[in-house]
């Protein structure tokens, strides 16, 4: 009989409509600004720079090696290497980025900078509400905006951050016998705290 | 099987359905690029006789963004996230096709677990692509919203899986030459298994919703018929080719990855019309579920990345390679020529939806304007891939 197919389809629609009041599986809408679905651990958005200790300048892990700048597919990273050196998180004198800009209007969140960084200095953030009223400067993030503490990193990616800390602690432990004189105790002291 | 047919008569033109009583001129209509059912910025110059399509000229290029040239000026690793942007519905399969061709070029082995993960992700991609295609196709037919929302509800679950594994819903950038970027946890696999086990329930429901619907049958059967000869000689691949009854699936023909270990069937159509193309997707989803179930059972433990591969400053030996896979839309291939430098000398994409779109005129001639939308919907195009 003509029309039975349509009626069968209507039955499915009705079941979904009524079911959406009882079955959670059928109603998956999240009322966004009021409700939020949790972000998964691996979620990535835009890069941030990690620093140890409380000082964003002194504790910055980045040594301005420019690998990420070179590997970034859309070329959104701009780094100027410093003239002088400062002790890094392991106490070794290293260059630091005098300028570190990321144009997040160009960045495509591919995570390649994170993968190629040998110093665990650049990681991905989870902040996604970044709309601005202004197109150019507001989307160009400078070093001070990009720098985030290790505690912040632990908050956004708890599992990954713990792994990174373990790896760095291991590397520091390996280095220690070679250079027993720790030059800056302020830098080495927070090492055991996250573990 | 052989797939070469040398010569072919010009595509048969349907009979004049309406006699041109008024001897009027043809009306030329430009459909698109901003048209809700052209699936992106795609334009068709259609010459109409009343409502009947007499000529149809597809116009591409509105979304051209120099993908191939960018691929030639970035490193091998740097091209990987750009491949996500080709067919943005199926970034996992795009990644795989590119990784496969680089692996062929540099002769890289992939660990066992990574192969399984790739198959799981590719088949999940096929599920969500086909589900949303069915929704879009019905939406093009005038079933606004409802079927599309049901399909998107299922797609959302799979996208959540992608997000929790790779960090992004659509631009996954997950695979690397030599394996996969991150390992899947046991939790993730369990969750994926749960979603796959529930998927047939959605399919049953969805099929009940559409298969017997008289309007759908009237709108799709005998509409946009494609003969097997024309499909083969035009290089059509994927579900569209199989809907004409040609048994050609690269998963079986090439057996890339570890597909030969899996038991699955290739659904074939008979008439090559829009209805067959639509049902082909529904049947393929069932086979994908069968593959996924086997993969979840067999997946071994181990590394997911070949430790010998240097991702950064990767320089493959001089040579060329063509890697192809059965993407949800058809044969997706990447052709790479290496001159030993960190960038490919030539980087070429063989996009399935672009080549499947070339015979649009032959499908549409003699049908009404309203059928053009349905036929276009059944071709399954994504403009990111068509224009590159």
The string of pLDDT tens digits covering residues A155-177 is 888 888 888 888 888 877 877 66
Q: Which residues of A touch B186 (CB under 8 A)?
A: none
Given a cut of 60, whether residue B238 has pLDDT beyond it is: yes
What digits encode the pLDDT tens for the residues A64-99? 888 888 888 888 888 888 888 777 766 777 788 888
Mean pLDDT of B67-91: 88
β-partners of residue A86 are A94
Residue A109 CA to residue A96 CA, distance in Å, equals: 24
Alpha-carbon gap, residue A141 to A101, rounded angstroms: 6
* pLDDT value for A193: 42
SS3 state of residue A123:
strand
Residue A28 and residue B75: Cβ atoms within 8 Å? no
Q: Do B79 and A109 touch (CB under 8 A)?
A: no
- CB atoms near residue B68 (< 10 Å): 15
pLDDT at B377 over 80: yes
pLDDT digits (tens, 9 = 90+) for B3-22: 333 333 444 445 554 444 55
Mean pLDDT value across chain B:
84
Q: Do A3 and B205 touch (CB under 8 A)?
A: no
Instruction: Spell out the domain ranges in chain A.
Output: 47-126+134-173
Give the pLDDT confidence score for residue A1 in this predicted structure: 66
CB contact under 8 A, A5 and B217: yes
Overall size of chain B counted in residues: 388
Residue B164, C-beta contacts closer than 8 angstroms, at least 6 positions apart: A40, A41, A42, A43, B188, B191
- Arithmetic mean of pLDDT, B227-232: 89
Is there a contact between A5 and B205 if contact means CB atoms under 8 Å apart?
no
Spatial contact of B344 and B375, defined as CB atoms under 8 Å apart:
no
Query: CA-to-CA distance for A45 and A26, rounded, in angstroms?
Result: 29
A chain contacts of residue B79, beta-carbon cutoff 8 Å: 73
Residue positions counted in chain A: 195
- Hey, are the CB atoms on A5 and B214 less than 8 Å from each other? yes
- Does residue B76 sit in helix, strand or coil? coil
User: What was the pLDDT predicted at A90?
Assistant: 67
Q: Do A43 and B173 touch (CB under 8 A)?
A: no
- Would you place residue B24 in the very low, low, confident or very high pLDDT band (cuts 50, 70, 90)? low
The pLDDT confidence band at residue B23, using thresholds 50, 70 and 90, is low
B1 pLDDT more than 60: no
The whole-number pLDDT of residue B304 equals: 85
Among partner residues A11, A41, A71, which is closest to B78 by beta-carbon distance?
A71
**Contact list, B217 vs chain A (CB under 8 Å):** 5
pLDDT one-digit tens code per residue, B191-201: 999 999 888 98
Task: Please state the pTM of the whole predicted model.
Answer: 0.85
- Based on its alpha-carbon atoms, the radius of gyration of chain B, rounded to whole angstroms, reads 21
Closest CB to A9 among B157, B165, B210? B210
Greater confidence, B309 or B339? Answer: B339
Q: Which residues of B touch A2 (CB under 8 A)?
A: 214
d(CA B243, CA B228): 9
Contacts 24+ apart (CB under 8 A), B32-35: B32/B59, B33/B59, B33/B62
pLDDT tens digits, one per residue of A23-61: 777 777 888 889 888 888 888 888 888 888 777 777 788
Q: What does residue B9 show for φ and ψ, rounded to 5 degrees?
A: -65, 155
B105-139 pLDDT per residue, tens:
888 888 888 999 999 999 999 999 999 888 888 88
Percentages of chain A per state (helix, strand, coil), in multiples of 5: 35, 15, 50
Partner-chain contact A40 B163, CB within 8 Å:
yes
Chain A contact set for B213 (CB, 8 A) = 5-6, 8-9
CATH class, domain A47-126+134-173, is alpha beta
Task: Please list, in sequence order, all residues whose beta carbon lies within 8 angstroms of the beta carbon of residue B365, skipping any fewer than 6 positions away.
Answer: B13, B14, B53, B54, B55, B56
User: In angstroms, what separates the C-alpha of B80 from chain A's closest C-alpha?
Assistant: 9
What is the structure's pLDDT at B124?
92
Over pLDDT 90: what percentage of chain A?
A: 0
Question: Over 80: is that where the pLDDT of B261 sits?
Answer: yes
Nearest-CB residue to B167 (from A4, A8, A43):
A43
ipTM score assigned to the predicted complex: 0.79
Measure the CA–CA gap between B101 and B237, rounded to whole angstroms: 19
Q: How far A15 CA sits from the closest chain B CA (Å)?
A: 10
Taking an 8 Å cut-off on Cβ atoms, the answer to whether A26 and B153 are in contact is: yes
pLDDT of residue B5: 36
Residue B250: pLDDT over 80? yes
- pLDDT for the residue B123: 92
Token reading at B16: 């004049």
């Amino acid at each position: 009989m003509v029309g039975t197919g349509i009626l069968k389809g209507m039955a499915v629609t009705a079941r979904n409509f009524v079911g959406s009041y009882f079955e959670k599986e059928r109603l998956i809408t999240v009322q966004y600004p009021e409700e939020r679905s949790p972000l998964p651990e691996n979620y990535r958005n835009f890069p941030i720079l990690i620093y140890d200790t409380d000082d964003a300048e002194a504790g910055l892990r980045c040594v301005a090696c420019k690998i990420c700048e070179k590997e970034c597919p859309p070329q959104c990273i701009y780094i100027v290497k410093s003239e002088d050196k400062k002790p890094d998180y392991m106490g070794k004198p290293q260059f630091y980025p005098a300028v570190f800009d990321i144009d997040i209007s160009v960045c495509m969140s591919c995570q390649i900078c994170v993968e190629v960084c040998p110093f665990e200095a650049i990681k991905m953030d989870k902040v996604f509400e970044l709309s601005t009223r202004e197109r150019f400067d507001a989307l160009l993030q400078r070093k001070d905006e990009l720098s985030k503490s290790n505690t912040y990193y632990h908050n956004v990616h708890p599992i990954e951050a713990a792994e990174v800390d373990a790896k760095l602690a291991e590397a520091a432990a390996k280095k220690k016998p070679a250079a027993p004189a720790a030059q800056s105790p302020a830098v080495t002291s927070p090492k055991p705290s996250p573990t | 099987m052989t797939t070469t047919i040398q010569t072919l008569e010009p595509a048969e033109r349907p009979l004049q359905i309406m006699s041109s009583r008024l001897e009027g001129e043809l009306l030329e209509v430009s459909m698109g690029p901003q048209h809700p059912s052209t699936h992106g910025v795609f334009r068709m110059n259609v010459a109409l006789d009343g409502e009947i399509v007499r000529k149809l000229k597809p116009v591409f290029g509105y979304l051209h963004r120099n993908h191939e040239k960018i691929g030639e000026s970035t490193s091998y690793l740097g091209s990987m996230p750009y491949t996500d942007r080709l067919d943005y519905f199926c970034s996992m399969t795009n990644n795989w096709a590119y990784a496969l061709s680089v692996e062929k070029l540099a002769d890289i082995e992939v660990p066992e677990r990574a192969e399984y993960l790739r198959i799981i992700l590719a088949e999940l991609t096929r599920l969500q692509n086909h589900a949303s295609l069915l929704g879009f196709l019905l939406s093009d037919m005038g079933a606004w919203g409802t079927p599309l929302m049901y399909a998107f509800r299922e797609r959302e679950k799979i996208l959540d899986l992608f997000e929790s594994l790779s960090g992004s819903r659509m631009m996954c950038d997950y695979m690397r030459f030599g394996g996969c970027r991150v390992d899947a946890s046991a939790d993730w696999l369990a969750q994926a298994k749960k979603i796959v086990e529930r998927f047939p329930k959605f399919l049953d429901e969805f099929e009940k919703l559409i298969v017997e619907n008289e309007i759908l049958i009237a709108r799709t059967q005998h509409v946009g018929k494609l003969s097997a000869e024309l499909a083969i000689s035009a290089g059509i691949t994927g579900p569209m080719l199989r809907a004409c009854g040609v048994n050609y699936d690269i998963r079986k023909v090439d057996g890339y990855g570890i597909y030969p270990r899996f038991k699955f069937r290739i659904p074939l159509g008979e008439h090559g019309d829009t209805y067959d193309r639509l049902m082909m997707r529904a049947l393929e989803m069932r086979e994908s579920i069968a593959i996924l179930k086997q993969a979840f059972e067999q997946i071994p433990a181990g590394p997911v990345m070949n430790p010998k591969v240097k991702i950064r400053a990767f320089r493959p030996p001089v040579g060329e390679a063509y890697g192809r896979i059965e993407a949800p839309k058809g044969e997706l291939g990447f052709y790479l020529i290496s001159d030993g430098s960190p960038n490919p000398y030539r980087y070429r994409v063989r996009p399935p939806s672009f080549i499947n779109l070339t015979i649009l005129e032959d499908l549409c001639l003699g049908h009404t304007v309203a059928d053009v939308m349905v036929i276009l919907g059944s071709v399954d195009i994504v403009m990111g891939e068509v224009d590159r």
